Structure 1
Amino acid sequence: MPSIKATYSSATNSCEELTPDSCGIIIFGASGDLVYRKLIPALFNLYTRNLMPITFYILGFARTEMTDEEFKERIRNSLISVHKISDTQMVESFLSQCRYTSGEYNDIEAYRRLQKKAAGCDCDFTKKENKLFYLALPPQLHPTVVSRLSQSGLTMEGENEDPWARVVFEKPFGHDLKSALELDKHLTSMLNPSQIFRIDHYLGKETVQSILMLRFANIMFEPLWNQRYIDNIQITVAESVGVEHRGGYYEKAGCLRDMFQNHMLQMLSLVTMEPPTRFKAHCVQSERVKLLHAIRPWSERTLKDNIVRAQYVEGKVNNEDVHGYHGEPNIAPDSTTETFVGMKLYIDNWRWQDVPIYMRSGKRLSMRESEIAVTFKRVPHSLFGLESQHEMPSNILVMKIQPNEGVDLTIHTKQPGPKACMASLSLSFKYSEVFDTVPQDAYERLLLDCMLGDRTLFLSREGVEAAWKIVDPVLNFWRDHPEQAPLHTYSAGSWGPKASDELLLRNGHQWRNPPEEHGTHFKSLAKPLIIRK
């Protein structure tokens, strides 16, 4: 089948990345999985691209007792054995910047040792340096660590933030609205708002970052980006894996807290928000918050009819038998935690009034795929002899978030040949193919922005609060009225429960399940449309 060749040219000469000022990166929870799976590889990649500060150090802190050399060996194993880095000389150069100290997170003496160790690292610099604290920790430890950092003076900044001290927080930001507000109150009593960086790694993905540029740098899209021309929007974040080693966390969180309160709602806000006045952090964050406030409040009827929750049972994934959620480690035998959520919601403003927004996310689905699909309305009148315009397929713009980041636009054209047959054509590109490079990991972008002080891709306090105000009523309804919100089941390896499909069928829609094979750029319609003359 023919493919569409994509080429590109840079529209500006100002695409070079800035290099951050010298700083120390202090990672709490430095013995945990996230550090070696994501943070260290991201920092190493920035190092190989000459995007780390000219002078920097990485100082790990955790309960586990380790020497500097043992910490370095863990990093070495992660980079060489797990992430297959072949440039051992570059690895050793990176390791020379790494240190470690241990202690209990609530022990003020441990923070004094940390302060002394950091001061020793600072001696490698020409002056006292900036510090970036990354809390790769369970959220219940965040208040304790921030309190101790403040008490020890580690987060003290100089005049006009010179030197600066910034603290990065991993999600979740609270367990519900009340706890999120309490957490924010505690953090802001110890830190200035400018020091708080709430990270959502989905906002660092290339396609998610490109949403605003796709919308606001291309004149052909923005005039159509409204209720007059768009029929519906679908956001899917599908995972083929189960909860794996995260059973203890997932039992307390569930799919709604884990995915919707942050990733899903943030992607929705980017694809539907109004144009910001400038591409500055406060302008972008403000428009995202306004959009979240415009989401139609839940009623008892919509809580019952427009949301589906489910849990996976045994099935097949990639032709392998897998057990159900109750068979996962650290899961209660009678657990009612949802592993899938599908929902329909509406945005009450002039741009999106009555356009249905469908969102779904789940574990143990057919494949790993995250995408945003914007389906345009059909042509108002058929010129090609069809009985109605409903026989004409819709144009669809698909922003693929992972694993094959890129954009697809489905249009219709004449199929070559003597008959006047219509076919669907997908104008498609993948970042890895067009730009001849592998898109950087989301943590690379976000860690670099932290060091640069760019808050555009981070969550604001107002954004977190607005998201919880959407999610909280759902959680409360499930808790108080379980009989009206049944927990459905679905087989592992499927696309979710039947009730999720029925949610869309009531509006005459269906989920766009991505094909198993990617890269098909041209396809005939199931029934070729023959133009009657």
Structure 2
Amino acid sequence: MIKTSDKKYDPTIFIIFGGTGDLTKRKIMPALYNLFLDNWLPEEFAIIGTSSSKMSNEKYIAELFSAVNEFSRTGKATKADWEKFSSHITFQDADITNASAFKPFGKLIDKYKKEWKTPPSIIYYCAVAPHFFCSIAENINKAKLDNDPKTTRIIIEKPFGSDLESAKDLNKKLLSIFEENQIYRIDHYLGKEVVQNIMAFRFANSIMEPLWNRNHVEHVQISVTEQIGIGSRGNYFDNAGILRDMIQNHLLQLLCIIAMEPPTNFNADEVRNRKVDVLKALRRIESGKIETMSARGQYSSGWIEGEEVVGYREEEKVKPHSNTETYAALKLHVDNWRWQGVPFYLRTGKRLFKSASIITIQFKEIPHNIFVSENTGPPKQNRLVISIQPDMAIRLQLQSKVPGLEMNLNTVDMVFDYAGSKKTDSPEAYETLLLDAITGDQTLFMRADQVEAAWEFIMPILNYWEKNTDQNFPNYAADSWGPENAEALIAKDGFHWFNLPEKNKKD
């Protein structure tokens, strides 16, 4: 869907459960404020923040003001802009486990309906711990709050289930109250500007599609590395691990975008159908082959940019002998006509050397080399490097002659660099996703069968790792690129991980 700021949207009410939480302050409220600044919100809108805390409207708005000033991409809010925006905000304390506590929301909805004289869209945002998702849905139903399939939506944050059975159970409960077209399962990675641009890059350029297959692609790497540790998330992370936290959703969704077939149109369900096709085509890893098709690790203590950091087992709220993985790498195959025989390597981890999200498509060697040089060797293979963060860029690496009297070759980049080309700041992922929820566009949101297909693929690995603990943990130092078994996973195929180079150096 092409959006323009001139478009008029229906009046909208946002009811944010977890309205005083970290997610609301860091992501949701700055996103809504920036949409307001850029004239994307409807003229008539209301934001109702709710939590079990009791506080005045003034105190709540003051806390949000501090949060927006700290986390908004547009910097500190001006007094005039904030007063206009915050006039739409109301705080309502409520016990979200008690249906009777939802009655004030109904009164507020009725109030705005009378004021606006137009039926509003209503967005229930579950910015809470996962075990509250069902309670909120059930209490919306019990309290008889508005639930028109055409105008009512519910946004569910990740994690969507902790395994296949819990994901199926959550889908079943939500679908007993809402229709599928009302449920917006959010994965913020899909809202990132470069991730969205992959589809435009693939399907809007005739030169790319003929190369995007097993005839020309040697292998694909999808790498999301993080320099940070787990911070204050020890309680959650120690029961989840990075396979659940990152690969089941973020990395598998990136793989779907890279590997999907061209959709016949940009309709939300058509795009999501093609993504589900990829998940169904993933070759299942049998239990006897998991050790050869995967690698896992856990970080020990070390130094990050001159600061000493503790090992995972010393982190707050982590079991002292925990066997939870903080690093995971997989070798996958998509068994279809386009990708047969092309390996996809996924890796992600905490406390690594650099924070970066990069997709690298390595093309095959030229069939016959006529450029022989003792100085530079054979021409290097072409690569398409899609950098999601920290830099936002798409680079096609080609071979070119070095200026001079001899025929020497060097790698040059054809670059689309957001930093050098954009006229305005790129929106944050949550801005894109919230606007899509306002307009009813589910293209970037997960469908029930997508979520379940991803869990179905991951479960054999999860089950194997939980039953067979790794006796070598911790097995990689903080500030490294991960465990040796991850290097061996890809090296045995004759490849190596493409790491972010140090400054002023090339990979």
TM-score category, normalised to shorter length = over 0.9
Structure 2 gap ranges (5+) = none
Equivalent residues in 2 for 1:125-144, closer than 5 Å: 125-144=116-135
Helix, strand or coil for the counterpart of 1:76?
A: helix
**CA shift for structure 1 position 81:** 4.6
**1:46 and 2:40 matched:** no
- Of residues 264, 270, 282, the one that matches 1:283 is 270
SS of 2:241's equivalent in the other structure is: helix
**1:486 CA drift (Å):** 5.9
Q: 1:108 aligns with which of 80, 99, 117?
A: 99
Say whether residues 1:37 and 2:26 are aligned partners: yes
Q: Which residue of 1 aligns with 2:385?
A: 398
Is the counterpart of residue 272 in structure 1 residue 259 in structure 2? yes
| 1:71 corresponds to | 60
Q: Which residue of 1 aligns with 2:191?
A: 204
Alignment of 1:94-173 (within 5 A): 94-157=85-148, 161=150, 164-173=151-160
2:492 corresponds in structure 1 to 506
Distance, in Å, in 2 between the alignment partners of 1:72 and 1:96 is 9
Q: Does structure 1 conserve the Cα–Cα contact (< 8 Å) formed by 2:26 and 2:68? A: no
Structure 1 CA distance for aligned equivalents of residues 473 and 334 of structure 2: 26
Which among 421, 425, 450 is matched to residue 463 of structure 1? 450
Q: Are positions 1:497 and 2:483 aligned together?
A: yes
More divergent stretch after superposition (128-137 vs 165-174): 128-137
> How far 1:417 moved relative to its partner?
1.5
Q: In structure 2, what residue type is equivalent to 1:130?
A: S
Is contact 1:40–1:75 with CA below 8 Å preserved after alignment?
Answer: yes
For residues 243 and 147 of structure 1, what CA distance do their matches in structure 2 show?
A: 32
For 2:12, give the aligned amino acid: C
Amino acid in the other structure paired with 1:38: K
Q: Is the 8 A contact 2:184 2:437 kept in 1?
A: yes
What is the aligned-residue RMSD (CA, Å)?
A: 1.9
Q: 1:340 to 1:81 in 2, by over 3 A?
A: closer
Name the count of aligned residue pairs.
503
**1:5 aligned residue:** none
**Greater mean alpha carbon deviation, residues 328-337 or residues 288-297:** 328-337
Structure 1 pair 19/490, CA: closer, same or farther in 2 (3 Å)? farther
Per the normalisation by structure 2, the TM-score is: 0.96
Deviation at 1:34?
0.5
1:366 to 321, 345, 353: 353
Matches within 5 A, 1:129-528: 129-157=120-148, 161=150, 164-385=151-372, 391-482=378-469, 487=473, 489-517=475-503
The 10-residue stretch of structure 1 (463-472 or 433-442) with the greater mean CA deviation from structure 2? 433-442
Q: Does 1:26 align with 2:26?
A: no
Alignment of 1:16 with 2:4, yes or no, is yes
Q: Distance in 2 between matches of 1:474 and 1:155?
A: 41
Q: Does structure 2 retain, via aligned residues, the 8 Å contact 1:169–1:199?
A: yes
Alpha-carbon deviations, 1:78-126, whole Å to 9, x = none?
1235543142210111111000111211112210122223333444312
Task: Tell me if structure 2 keeps the 8 A contact 1:431–1:437.
Answer: no
Gaps of 5+ in 1: 1-11, 527-533
Offset from partner CA, 1:495-524 (integer Å, 9 cap, x none): 111111111110000000012338x8xx7x
Distance 1:185 1:486 in 2: 40
The amino acid across from 1:75 in the alignment is L
Contact residue 11 and residue 118 of structure 2 kept, 8 A:
no
Q: SS of the residue aligned with 2:479?
A: coil
Q: State the shift of 1:480 in Å.
A: 2.3
Which residue identity lines up with residue 128 of structure 2 in the other structure?
L
Distance (Å, rounded) in 2 between the aligned partners of 1:458 and 1:480? 33
Q: Deviations over 1:131-162 (max 9, x none)?
A: 101000111110111000111111421xx72x
SS, match of residue 231 in structure 1: strand
Residues 1:128 and 1:225: Cα distance change in structure 2 (over 3 Å): closer
Tell me how far apart the structure 2 counterparts of residues 155 and 370 of structure 1 sit (CA, whole Å). Answer: 40
Q: Quote the Cα distance in structure 1 between the aligned partners of 2:135 and 2:70.
A: 35
Is contact 1:29-1:60 (8 Å) kept?
yes
Question: In the TM superposition, what is the alpha-carbon distance from 1:412 to its structure 2 partner?
Answer: 0.6
Q: Deviations over 1:393-435 (max 9, x none)?
A: 1111011111211111110100012222111101123213201
By how many angstroms is 1:390 displaced? 8.4
Q: Name the SS of the counterpart of 1:503 in structure 2.
A: helix
The alpha-carbon distance between structure 1 residues 49 and 301, as it changes in their structure 2 partners (threshold 3 A), is: same
- Distance in structure 1 (CA, Å) of the matches to 2:331 and 2:47: 44
Alignment partners' CA distance in 1, 2:377 and 2:247: 33
Task: Determine the C-alpha separation between the residues in 2 that align with 1:82 and 1:348.
Answer: 43
Say whether the 8 Å CA contact 2:379–2:409 is kept in structure 1.
Answer: no
- Tell me if structure 1 keeps the 8 A contact 2:294–2:329: yes
Q: Is the 8 A contact 1:373 1:399 kept in 2?
A: yes
Shift in Å at residue 274 of structure 1?
0.5
| CA distance in 1 between partners of 2:100 and 2:468 (Å) | 48
Equivalent AA in structure 1 for residue 322 of structure 2: S
Cα 1:420–1:106 change in 2 (3 A) is: same
CA–CA distance in structure 1, aligned partners of residues 300 and 83 of structure 2: 46
TM-score, L = length of structure 1: 0.91
Q: Deviations over 1:156-193 (max 9, x none)?
A: 21xx72xx110000011111001111111111111111
Q: Deviations over 1:238-279 (max 9, x none)?
A: 111111111111111110000011000000000011011111
Q: Deviations over 1:373-408 (max 9, x none)?
A: 000001011011359x98321111011111211111
Q: Quick one: which amino acid aligns to residue 136 of structure 1? A: A
Code of the aligned partner of 1:110: A
Q: Once the two structures are superposed, what CA deviation does each residue of 1:37-96 show, in whole Å capped at 9, x if it has no partner?
A: 000000000000000011001000111111111111111111235543142210111111
Asked if 1 retains the 8 angstrom alpha-carbon contact of 2:286 and 2:460, the reply is no
Q: Distance in 2 between matches of 1:195 and 1:32?
A: 24
